[in-house]
Amino acid sequence: MDINWVATLLLSVIGSIVLSIVANIFTDPIKNWLARRSLVSKTQRIETLKSELEEVEQFYNNMSKLYLNSIRQMAIGFLLIGISIFLFLFVMLGIIQPNNVIPFSGFLADALNKPIPGPLVLVGMLLCASIFLNGVRLCAKQIRTITRVLEFNEYKAKTEDRIIQLNTNAVNRKS
HSE-up (13 A, CA, CB side) for residue 53:
17
Domain chopping of the chain, boundaries: 51-174
Q: Hey, how many other C-beta atoms are within 10 angstroms of the C-beta on 88?
A: 19
List all residues 6 or more positions away from 97 whose beta carbon is below 8 Å from its beta carbon.
none
* Residue 150: pLDDT band with limits 50, 70, 90: very high
Q: What is the pLDDT of residues 33-42, one digit of tens each?
A: 776 677 777 8
End-to-end CA distance of the chain: 66
Structure confidence at residue 60 (pLDDT): 96
Q: Rounded distance, CA 125 to CA 40, Å? A: 38
pTM value? 0.64
